[in-house]
Copies of this chain bind each other. A is one copy, B any other.
Amino acid sequence: MKAPSNPPRGDQTRRALIVAAIDVFGRTGFDAASTRALARAAGVNQALIGYHFGGKRGLYIAVFEHIASQMQEHMVPVAEEVTRQLNELPRYGAPRGELAQTLLLNLFDAFLEMQGGEAAAHWVPLVLREQQNPTEAFDIIYDSLIGPVLGLVTRLVAIASGMDETSEACRIRTLMILGQALIFRVARGTTERQMLWQTLTPENISAIKQQFRQSIESQFSQRAILS
């Protein structure tokens, strides 16, 4: 147990650098961000990046570990609750498809909520860059969050749609659903001009959630028709 009034100086410096670096790396990318700019934004000396993180690259990795743990805080409790409810249900039966759809929406509500935060505007560009050119930093975030959550989503999509969970078609549909939720951050420039949204306000997120819900419901409603 550590007294809250006693934060060691080094920890403060590390934290300031990481928080500032999310912003600076997010704006300009890894190469364009100079250690001088990073240090200035954090209000610390430039040489401290080398001391605490071994160099610019080390700080970059630390930033991704920080982002991963922040995303986990948002998503893991919801994912665990969803898993719990899913496992409690009988293996077969009519309500199972509808439950999966509901759980899917719960999961994406949390995801869209996370994206709504102002912090997301900073780390989304970082993650996107890693998606295009995956390095060690991408593994950190994929292994600890994206992979597991996507696995859960695939399972829910399979149950809600009646598809085989292991089929290519099911995994394609799962990614498409993810695309529907991500597009507003990913294509930020287009969103700005198309929606006339400068930033994603809570009202915007609420409107997105509503349309997302309708889209999911209609995509899986054919079940009712087929059965």
Enumerate chain A interface residues (CB-CB to B < 8 A): 27-32, 124-125, 128-134, 138, 142, 146-147, 150, 168-169, 171-184, 186-195, 207-208, 210-212, 215, 218-222
In the assembled complex, the Cα of A124 lies from the Cα of B186 at a distance in Å of 12
Q: For chain A, what secondary structure do more than half of its interface residues adopt (helix, strand, loop), or is it mixed?
A: helix
Partner of A183, one of B175, B208, B211, B222: B175
User: Contact at A190–B125, with CB atoms within 8 Å?
Assistant: no
Partner of A31, one of B31, B142, B187: B31
The residues of B that contact A142 with a CB separation of less than 8 Å are 189-190, 193
Given the known A-B contacts A31-B32, A222-B218, are A190 and B128 also in contact in the complex, defined by CB atoms under 8 Å? no
User: Contact at A194–B150, with CB atoms within 8 Å?
Assistant: yes
In the assembled complex, the Cα of A98 lies from the Cα of B38 at a distance in Å of 55
From A129, A179, A215, name the one whose CB has the most chain B CB atoms within 10 angstroms: A179
In the assembled complex, the Cα of A168 lies from the Cα of B205 at a distance in Å of 12
User: Contact at B189–A138, with CB atoms within 8 Å?
Assistant: yes
In the complex, the chain B residue whose C-beta lies closest to that of A154 is B194
